[in-house]
Structure 1
Amino acid sequence: MASSTGSDAGSGSGPAPGPGPGSGSGGGSGRRLGRRLTQLYAGLLLYGASIGLMVRSGLGLPPWDVLHQGIARHTGLSIGTVSICAGAAVLLLWVPIRQRPGLGTVSNVVLVGLSVDATVWLAPEPRSLAVRIPVLAVAVVLNGAATGLYIAARFGPGPRDGLMTGLHRVTGRSVRLVRTGIEAAVLLSGLLLGGTAGAGTVVYALGIGPLAQLFLRVFALPDERARAAGVPPGGSGPGGSRVVARGTADGGRRRAWWRGGAILRR
């Protein structure tokens, strides 16, 4: 859903910890859980809608969706169905690298694909470039907002981002190198299968990181904002990526680096 990367973007290397001590009364915890669930499912549905709009724009897709579209053209399946099947297949790759899925992981596999298909079915295909360009712009911004929504919910990474973070952990290679290698491979495979890459692919690659980071701050839960207040403004981690301080269930703290759609806990 990022991904970040198309059809999926992750929120960590496993299920997010629950509220820590002092997080409030039972009623407050229930309201907080309700908000997190709302953000998760709204984000996933909007993410799929954004990919569907990019399909309709005809100007290019994120790398994973170029692959999904290419497979769809050869199998007769819808792009959303291929996205679901690919997400499930990628999830199987978590087994050897010992990644743990969360609620958001499983929900991502199913809901993003369904939303992509619904949007492609409902949205008319624009015929002129003057309409296609605004549709693409709206889709990319919507994708950034959707990514911020469901990452902030903290219910686990999407399958593709979980694969990326798992390979990073197992191989010791940098996140940037692992991500670039995976996305280059799926993009090339998608192009060979007839998927659509173009200006939209480039716009997405350049815009999704800053947009998702912006919306992640907008949709952060109140306790996350309070914890982040202890981080110096403009603080950054390795490679210039944003540092966000996080509390953990045992009262400790860990740092998370934002990297273009994925949060990696350290």
Structure 2
Amino acid sequence: MTIVTRFAPSPTGKLHLGHAFSAIRSHDRARGDGGSFLLRIEDIDGTRSRPDHVAGIVQDLQWLGLEWDGDVLFQSSRLDRYAAALERLKAMGLLYPCICTRADIAASGSAPHGPSGAIYPGTCRGAAVDESGAAWRIDMAAAVARCGLLDWTDELAGVQRADPLAHGDVVLARKDAPASYHLAVTVDDAFQGVTHVVRGRDLFDATHVHRLLQCLLDLPMPIYRHHALLTDADGRRLAKRDGAPTLTSLREQGVDGRRLADDLRAGRLPIGFGVPNA
């Protein structure tokens, strides 16, 4: 089997060291076995995605010495594929429109918590809802009943039993986002022939939902590898909202990108950052 991996950032901001670490892990997983490494830009958030960030992503990856195979795939060019997947799930009777806001869910005393926060309590399930402007949620219990028990494999954590019910009826599309991360990434990984998904441990739980969507849409199941996250000296994961140093700023300071990439591979990080444990 020829290994195919991908790096799929969203152009809603500049890349930081955590992104670099993940891109290198994905790149090296493929290259180490003579496989292919792909670049996908997840730009369907029309209000936050910016062309200058796309250019910055390309420059940052080249600065790190990472090369990808083939053309860059833009999710904004594949909206028809996501719409087709949604229509297929609707035809199965597995989706329902929902007009509840995040504030509505947060205010609901019946909303339990799961891996991703408050679980939707099903307020609109079975209700008469105007589809105009509504989000589309998956009836998770009905979907799980259709597919039964499912497993997936992580190269670091081993075989996992999928538990999508823990996430509740997640949103698969909204008026301002024609496909959720869950739906788009599942459809695109299959389209691009990705055999090994290498990404951060923060997305481990999301894989339970992706495994279910693969079953419902008759898509192949890749092997996963959820690596540890880079942290700061206090053990907090690097994030845009916390002001993590960007690769652009390091590049502009004259840092050698290829040397930085080699340091990240070896677990040597700039002063002030922790060391990943896997």
TM-score clears 0.5: no
TM-score (normalizing by structure 1): 0.27
TM-score (normalizing by structure 2): 0.26
Going by fraction, where is strand more abundant, 1 or 2?
2
Structure index of larger Rg: 2
Going by fraction, where is helix more abundant, 1 or 2?
1
**Larger RCO (CA within 8 A; separation ≥ 6):** 1
